[in-house]
Structure 1
Amino acid sequence: MTTATIATTAIPQHTEIAQHLRGADFHDCYQIDIAPTSESALALYLKVVAATPRWVNAMMTLRNRIVQLVGLKNLGALGDTDSAKPASAYRVGDRVGIFSIVYLSDQEVILGDSDKHLNVEVSVCKLTDKVAVSTVVHTRNALGRIYMLFVAPAHRRIVPATLRNARFL
C-alpha cells in the first residue's frame, strides 16, 4: 500500500452534506486521492471503516465507558459492520456500524447519529479522483459543547488515520 495524501479542505459546496452546515458547531472535511472507481460512496465508506486502526477502536471503547456515566449512548466500534452484507443491500434508515444512513446516492452517503447532547452527520462523497469525508455536528446543549472540546481534537486525528489505512483500489 502506498502512502496516501490526505488534505484538509472545505466541504464541497455541491454535496448534500453542505446543505446541513447552517448553524453547525463543528465541521470539517478531508479528501484523499483515489483511482476512478465504479464503487458507490457507501462501498467506499465500508472500506474506510473496515480499515479502522486498532487504537481508534480502543478510543471508542474508552469513550463508550466514560459517556455512559452521563447517560449517553454506547455506540460500539466504528467498524462494527456486517462484512457479508454488500453496500447495495443498504437503504436509508439502516444502521451501518455506529451510524444510520440518512441520505444515500451512488455519489454520496450521509450517515448520522443523534443523542441528547448532539447530532452528528458524516458524509462520504465521490469526486472525480478523490473521496471527501465531511463531518457536521450540531450540539444541543452544554453537554454537547463540553463533549466536543474533547472529541474535536481526537476526531482530527481519527479521520486521517482511518483514511490512510483504507485500501482504495
Structure 2
Amino acid sequence: MARMNKTVIRKTGVPEHSILKDEEASFGYIDSFQSSFSGKEKGNDIIPIAELFSSSGPEWANSLLRIRDKIVKPFGLKTADQITDFSEQPDDTRYELGSQHGIFKLFYKRENEVVLGQDDTHLNVRVSLLLESSGNEVNKILSITTAVKFNNLFGKLYFLPVKPIHQLIVRKSLENIVLQIENNGNEG
C-alpha cells in the first residue's frame, strides 16, 4: 500500500557537489529544489532516478508542452517532436554522453549525478539530478537543479512566463520521484 506521508520539497542553492556549481555564474537563471527520502534499492543509483525523472512530470505539463510547441514552431524553435522521435528510442535506454532521453540529451554523467539538457537558438538548458547521502546508506537527498543560459533577448522574454510554470513542474516531478522510490522500497 502506498505511503500517505507528505513529501517535503525545499528550494535551495546549487548543491556544492553538483557539476553545475562551477558554472553557476555563467547562467542567466538557476534554481534548485531538493527532497530527502529513504530508499534502499532504486534510491541508491542515479540512473533509475533519471529514468523516473523522464516520466515523473505532472500530466498537465504534457498539455502545456503541446500548446508551447504550437506557439513556438513558427518562430523556428525546437519542438518536442523535432528533438526526439520516441518511436526510435531503444527499449533499454542507455545513459551515455550525447544520448537522447525524451526532450533532453545527456551532457554529463557521474556516479551520483547526471546533467541533461537541450540547446536552442534562444536559450540553453541544463538539468542536474544529484543524489547525495544524508548521514547513512539509507537516507538520501535528491536535488534537481535547472540552469538556463540566454542566447539572446528573445530567450529572456520567452522564459518570463515559463519560469513560474517550470518551478511548479520541477517541484511536482521531484515529489513524484521521491514517492515512487519510497513506495517501491517499502513494498513487500
SS of 2:130 mapped into structure 1: strand
| Aligned match of 1:19 | 22
In the alignment, structure 1 residue 107 sits paired with structure 2 residue 118:
no
Structure 2, unpaired ranges of 5+ = 134-139, 183-188
| Aligned match of 1:133 | 144
| Aligned match of 2:8 | 5
* CA drift at 1:59: 0.8
* CA drift at 1:91: 0.4
* CA drift at 1:46: 1.2
CA contact (8 A) 1:64 1:74 kept: yes
In the alignment, structure 1 residue 55 sits paired with structure 2 residue 60:
yes
Runs of 4+ in 1 over 6 A off after TM superposition: none
Which of 1 and 2 has greater Rg?
Answer: 2
SS of 2:80 mapped into structure 1: coil
Q: Structure 1 length normalisation: TM-score?
A: 0.89
Q: Which is richer in helix?
A: 2
CA contact (8 A) 1:42 1:124 kept: no
How many matched pairs? 166
Q: Structure 2 length normalisation: TM-score?
A: 0.81
Q: Distance in 2 between matches of 1:108 and 1:40?
A: 9
Structure 1, unpaired ranges of 5+ = none
Q: Distance in 2 between matches of 1:62 and 1:45?
A: 25
1:18-37, aligned counterparts within 5 Å? 18-37=21-40
CA contact (8 A) 1:49 1:162 kept: no
CA contact (8 A) 2:39 2:181 kept: no
Superposed CA deviations along residues 93-113 of structure 1, whole A, max 9, x for unmatched, are: 000111100001120000111
Change beyond 3 A, Cα 1:97–1:22:
same
Matched AA of 1:25: G
Q: Distance in 1 between matches of 2:123 and 2:40?
A: 34
Superposed CA deviations along residues 95-136 of structure 1, whole A, max 9, x for unmatched, are: 011110000112000011100001100000001111000001
| Aligned match of 2:48 | 43
Q: Percent identity?
A: 27
Q: Distance in 1 between matches of 2:40 and 2:158?
A: 37
CA contact (8 A) 1:20 1:136 kept: no
| Aligned match of 2:79 | 74
